[in-house]
Amino acid sequence: MTKCSIRVLCAALFLSTFANAADWPTFAHDPQRSGWAREEFTLSAQNVTDLELKWKTKVNNKPKALAALTAPLVASDVVTSQGTKTLVYVAGSSNNIHAIDAQSGSIVWSRELQSYSTPGKPDQWLCPNNLNATPVIDRRAGILYLITMDGKLLGVDLGTGSNRFGPIQFVPPFSKSWSLNFVKGVIYTSLSQGCGGGASGLYSMDVREPFNSTSSHLLVNNAGGGGMWGRGGPVIGANGKVYGATGDGLWEPSRGFYGSSIVAASIDDLRLVDYYTPRNWKDINDYDWDISCTSPVWFANQNYQLLAVGGKEGVIYLMDADSLGSKDHHSPLFITPRLANDEDTFEGKGVWGALSAWTDVNGESWVYAPIWGPASKKAPKFPISNGDAPHGQIMAFKIAFDSATKKPRLEPQWASCDLNVPDPPVIANGVVFVLSTGENVQQTKEGGVIKWNKLTLLTNAEREGRTQRAKLYALDATTGKVLWDSGEMMDTWVHFSGLAVADGRIYAVDHDSQVYSFGLRAKAK
């Protein structure tokens, strides 16, 4: 192992959230948002055919617009009034938090959170006035942190739900915040869409001194432009930088505007340290091809520290995490051909959600991308195809090195079966788990094929119509072959959530505020 690789490994361990086999402490498992449950060895490609629904629990939460429950989190060895347990945590869009016994599915504690503010506008799917950000767990302190609907950062005890930190105002009330990240005593989030008057950008709060907390922010645009609405919120690399992808908005670096870009900030004070802007940023703005509809993923490969991200245009950018766009800020390591969205629409086509990354037993790095809509006619040929996929699929790539430039690139490996709007995949011990969400992705009456300012947005009720029940799939991580699916075990669809994998269980949620636990059947004695 090279010195560089050793440094990356040590840094990754240092920045980890101290998870063990029964933990999933943050969205996509770790600060780098890999989606890889490194500690999971109960589940495998050989036994997932024996998965079954272990329990289904409905929590007391009223969906707001399209949103219901955040992605699940899991913590083991938590001391509760009922003994030491592994608990599953979900936050509800109507300002509540719940802890569920991972073994039985019974609710151990629940809290309805107070709000002292009133939203200025009615709930709407772009700005639902809700609790939106997936919380994060600090295992050392035994605290779960969340942002309430009125923008306050609150830390609650893992075992009891009682207050341990705050509440302290973190972001504007009813702003649209995204999954929390936590490293070295600091909480991070991102804002988008200008909801509640919140400016787009990265936000952080140092929580190491509860009565003397300090905040930082990196704003990337004025008003609601440049929104950072990637599902995973801020991504924190093992190189000590914080990353985020921005949406449509002004691009004028001299004025501090970084629309349609990927930005890197210092971990301590969120000072801008690097950025990458695609050369076709004007087209990205004109066609509303937000790069920020996905979260980046940070990972290491040989001597490279890498960052990958996609967007509605249907391409994936692979960057050197230490020099995102090279000296001119416009030159990444590699850009894929168009993978989806030949229609040039801004709704329901392209790369959405969050990318994931995994290293196999041979030390090779894989990247998995959730694709909405059919594959592009310009997409590269995948050596393994698992059937037609008109509604969406997962596309899998390996990191390879260009023979001429010696630089890393994404080499196609397999494309999955048809998935009806896939959520970000997660990986455990050679298995890719992905939720086919069944969501209705149409946003406008016109279908998203003309200028945004000439479109009529669908109502909440119209968006919630024409949905289908969600379905969980287990795929072979190296071939994409379907190993198992949940059939009709889930009752309804889901919008913008995620999966958790811990200690041989997979956890998912649906729009009816139900939490699902899937695990292996007990072996007959």
451, pLDDT greater than 80: no
Nearest to 375 by CA among 359, 363, 391: 391
Question: What are the backbone dihedrals phi and psi of residue 245, each rounded to the nearest 5 degrees, phi first?
Answer: -105, 140
For residue 72, say if its preceding peptide bond is cis, omega within 30 degrees of 0. Answer: no
Q: Is residue 524 part of a domain?
A: no
d(CA 103, CA 81): 16
* pLDDT score for 332: 98
Residue 350 — left, alpha, or beta (φ > 0 → left; ψ -120 to 50 → alpha)?
left
Alpha carbon distances (Å) from 52 to 102, 406, 446, 504, 510: 15, 46, 41, 12, 17
Q: Is residue 274 part of a domain?
A: yes
d(CA 38, CA 465): 38
* pLDDT score for 458: 85
Nearest to 144 by CA among 277, 26, 296, 247: 26
Beta strand spans in 347-404 (E)? 350-351, 353-354, 356-359, 365-372, 384-385, 392-401
* Structural domain of 234: 3-519
pTM summary value: 0.95
Sign of the Cα pseudo-torsion (331, 336, 338, 339, in order): negative
389, pLDDT greater than 90: yes
Residue 175, CB-side half-sphere exposure with 13 Å CA sphere: 28
**SS3 call for 339:** coil
Mean pLDDT for the chain overall = 93
pLDDT in tens, 195-230: 999 999 999 999 999 899 999 999 998 767 899 999
Q: Is residue 525 part of a domain?
A: no
Interval 466-474 mean pLDDT: 96
More confident site: 189 or 446: 189
d(CA 214, CA 258): 25
Alpha carbon distances (Å) from 489 to 146, 420, 478, 508: 30, 16, 26, 11
Strands 241-245, 251-252: pairing is: unpaired
**SS3 call for 33:** coil
Alpha carbon distances (Å) from 63 to 120, 269, 314, 467: 19, 35, 30, 15
Q: Is residue 317 part of a domain?
A: yes
264, pLDDT greater than 80: yes
Interval 51-70 mean pLDDT: 96
**Residue 286 host element (H or E):** helix 281-286
DSSP 8-state class, residue 302: T
d(CA 90, CA 15): 24
CB of 350 closer than 8 Å to CB of 314: yes
Percent residues over pLDDT 70 in the chain = 95
pLDDT-derived band at 125 (thresholds 50, 70, 90) equals confident
CB of 128 closer than 8 Å to CB of 146: no
CB of 90 closer than 8 Å to CB of 60: no
Q: How far is CA 54 from the centre of its chain?
A: 25
CB of 316 closer than 8 Å to CB of 354: no
d(CA 316, CA 201): 22
C-alpha distance across the termini of the chain, in Å:
45
pLDDT in tens, 229-261: 999 999 999 999 999 999 999 999 999 999 999
What is the CATH classification number for the domain harbouring 514?
2.140.10.10
Residue type, 154: L
Ranges 112-116, 119-123, 286-290, 483-487: which has the least confidence: 119-123
Interval 275-281 mean pLDDT: 97
Interval 479-485 mean pLDDT: 98
d(CA 422, CA 431): 16
Q: Which two tokens stand for residue 360?
A: 């196999």
pLDDT-derived band at 450 (thresholds 50, 70, 90) equals low
Task: Count Cβ neighbours within 10 Å for each residue of 307-342 and write b for 16 or more, e otherwise.
Answer: bbbbbbbbbbbbbbbebbbeeebeebbbbbebbbbe
Interval 320-337 mean pLDDT: 98
- Give Cβ neighbours of residue 282 (< 8 Å, ≥ 6 apart): none
CB of 244 closer than 8 Å to CB of 235: yes
Structural domain total, the chain: 1
Question: What are the backbone dihedrals phi and psi of residue 497, each rounded to the nearest 5 degrees, phi first?
Answer: -120, -140
507, pLDDT greater than 80: yes
d(CA 261, CA 219): 13
- Give Cβ neighbours of residue 485 (< 8 Å, ≥ 6 apart): 471, 472, 473, 474
d(CA 235, CA 231): 10
pLDDT-derived band at 35 (thresholds 50, 70, 90) equals very high
Q: How many CB atoms lie within 10 A of CB 368?
A: 29
Question: What are the backbone dihedrals phi and psi of residue 515, each rounded to the nearest 5 degrees, phi first?
Answer: -110, 135
